[in-house]
Amino acid sequence: MLEAKDLYIRSFFIRKEIPEDNYLSDLDVVRALQKLPEFRFSSPLTIFVGENGSGKSTLIEALALNIGLNAEGGSKHFNFETDNTHSELYDYLKVEKSYYPPHDSFFLRAESFYTMASYVDEIGSYRSVGGLSLHKQSHGESFMALIENRFWGEGLYILDEPEAALSPAKTLELMVRIHDLVEQNSQFIIATHSPLLLAMTGAQLFKIESDSIYECSYEETEHVQLMRQFLEDPERFQHYLY
């Protein structure tokens, strides 16, 4: 398994001032990073967690763009675009990479998976995802087919809310696959809301909130606390909602 000194992405920081009138300056993650000299990775499995709008996906996207991956998902060889809507954060980040690049890399983002699957069909790259068009499978099945067949190990994998298409059982399968790939010297950087993924053994969790980014435990995440309270007594929980 990769040690900190061998990670494919070691650290990043904001390398130039972001104008106050740029919407990026309103994101929690950007305001937090502006206070830090750098953010350094120390685990091959890093998970960012935070509320909607905190900037998790924006950060994940910026890291993917900085290593040459397609903004809407895929590998360095994917070349498709529906709308040029990715943020400018990648241009403000300086990313420290390993001297030894990964043998494989991929950016998986839930919101543009359909478009990426269409591109795979267009270029006829069925073999790399199991030999069957991703569009001829359910959403969750196509997610897992991609991860099981296209993620080869010794790679850098950036995932944005991968649980979006998956049932709890399929999310558990994803956890097994991630664990196996980490054992095969892969690095994962993930943004998620899933309490299941947050519980992964060996994961280093970072919470983004209120202009700060800090390491936290599984129990400290609001996602876990709310889900546990709800499952303990759904009727009572809803009584206070309505």
Structure confidence by residue, pLDDT tens digits, 156-185:
999 999 998 889 999 999 999 999 999 999
User: Sorting pLDDT into bands at 50, 70 and 90, what band is 49?
Assistant: very high
Residue corresponding to tokens 């924006």? 58
What are 179-237's pLDDT values in tens digits? 999 999 999 999 999 999 999 999 999 999 988 999 999 999 999 999 999 999 999 99
Statement: residue 126 has pLDDT above 50: no
From 186, 190, 188, 128, select the one nearest 155 (Cα to Cα): 186
Task: Sketch out the chain's domains with CATH numbers.
Answer: 4-110+155-239 (3.40.50.300)
Question: Helix 113-123 crosses helix 139-150 at what angle (to 10 degrees)?
Answer: 60
Point out which residues pair with 39 in neighbouring strands.
12
Q: What is the pTM of this model?
A: 0.90
- Under DSSP, the state recorded for 165 is G
71-84: b (≥16 Cβ within 10 Å) or e: bbbbbeebebeeee
**What is the residue-wise DSSP string for 172-205?**
HHHHHHHHHHHHTT-EEEEE---HHHHT-TTPEE
Q: Among 78-87, 120-129, 160-169, name the most confident range.
A: 160-169
* Planar angle of CA 20, 21, 24, nearest 5 degrees: 75
128: three-class secondary structure by DSSP: helix
Query: Is pLDDT of 115 > 70?
Result: no
Q: Which of 192, 183, 184 is nearest to 221 (CA)?
A: 192
What letter would DSSP give residue 84? Answer: -
